[in-house]
Amino acid sequence: DAGVIQSPRHEVTEMGQEVTLRCKPISGHDYLFWYRQTMMRGLELLIYFNNNVPIDDSGMPEDRFSAKMPNASFSTLKIQPSEPRDSAVYFCASSLWQQLRDYGYTFGSGTRLTVV
Amino acid sequence: DQQVKQNSPSLSVQEGRISILNCDYTNSMFDYFLWYKKYPAEGPTFLISISSIKDKNEDGRFTVFLNKSAKHLSLHIVPSQPGDSAVYFCAASRNTGANSKLTFGKGITLSVRP
């Protein structure tokens, strides 16, 4: 298995531009999570899906952020318009419900976003 | 409000000695705890977990201890090796039935000196 695949690995964009981050979870996993890592706040949960349905989006910081999971093998996190304070590393993770408690999630390598 | 706290941002240890990484939590509903390890430019990877019905879980050089009354857990690495140098995240979850999520601390950077 190739693991959780995120693209792009690095993204540099100008303030005000739209940014789309992509994630392919591990095949067969029924949970998908989007996290953001910053020095100040550590790893923050933004939103998570179960069987492609958003369950909890309370961590999404503002209306500028949106996430979709149109099918079991693909999810996007979109920021529109982007701002410099959105600069962070964004991680996608997936898991099986049966493994969630004992093994947690499998994370992707992350997308490092820089908004200038 | 940080429900999972890793108050020491960094730790430096000599190779061969014990590394002790601490974690505190505030939510008494948490009943499962995990440690993740993260190398630069990679995602966090699962290391070890413990259920609240236990007070210790061991896996090779890694042991996690849980003190529920103090809402405290610790990760012991013995002996420490240079390859253990990484950021370590403590995480916790509570049993909410079908839907469960992890709450992470800010992480501790461990440096193991050769």
User: Which residue is closest to A43 within chain B, CA to CA?
Assistant: B104
The whole-angstrom separation of Cα A60 and Cα A80 is 13
The whole-angstrom separation of Cα A96 and Cα A30 is 5
Phi and psi (nearest 5°) for A98?
-70, -20
Contacts of A109 in chain B (CB under 8 A): 41-43
* Burial of A70 per CB tally in 10 Å (0-12, 13-18, 19+): exposed
Contacts of B49 in chain A (CB under 8 A): 101-104
pLDDT tens, B33-77?
Answer: 999 999 999 999 999 999 999 999 999 999 999 999 999 999 999
Q: Tell me the nearest-neighbour CA distance from A27 into chain B, angstroms.
A: 18
A28 touches chain B (CB under 8 A): no
CB-CB contact of B62 with B77 (8 Å): yes
The whole-angstrom separation of Cα A76 and Cα A7 is 10
A25 touches chain B (CB under 8 A): no
Summary mean pLDDT of chain A: 93
Answer yes or no: is pLDDT of B84 > 90. yes
Instruction: Give A25's DSSP letter.
Output: P
The whole-angstrom separation of Cα A64 and Cα A45 is 16
Residue with the bigger pLDDT between B29 and A22: it is: A22
The answer to whether the Cβ–Cβ distance between B93 and A100 falls below 8 Å is yes
List the single residue in B34, B89, B101 with the smallest CB-CB distance to A56. Answer: B101
Q: What is the pLDDT of residue A2?
A: 79
Q: Tell me the nearest-neighbour CA distance from A81 into chain B, angstroms.
A: 26
Q: What is the pLDDT of residue B98?
A: 57
Percent of chain B with pLDDT over 70: 96
**B contact set with A (CB within 8 A):** 32, 34, 36, 41-46, 49, 51, 89, 91, 93, 95, 98-107
Cross-sheet strand order for the sheet of B19-25? B4-5, B19-25, B72-77, B62-67, B56-59
Contacts of B95 in chain A (CB under 8 A): 101
Q: What is the pLDDT of residue A1?
A: 66
Domains by residue range for chain B, with CATH = 4-113 (2.60.40.10)
Q: To the nearest 10°, report the CA torsion of A84, A111, A62, A50.
A: 180
The whole-angstrom separation of Cα B36 and Cα A107 is 10
At B97, is the pLDDT very low, low, confident or very high (cuts 50, 70, 90)?
A: low
Answer yes or no: is pLDDT of B26 > 60. yes
Residue with the bigger pLDDT between B95 and B48: it is: B48
Q: What is the pLDDT of residue B96?
A: 62
pLDDT in tens, chain A (116 residues): 679 999 999 999 999 999 999 999 999 999 999 999 998 888 999 999 999 999 999 999 889 999 999 999 999 999 999 999 999 999 999 998 778 777 889 999 999 999 99
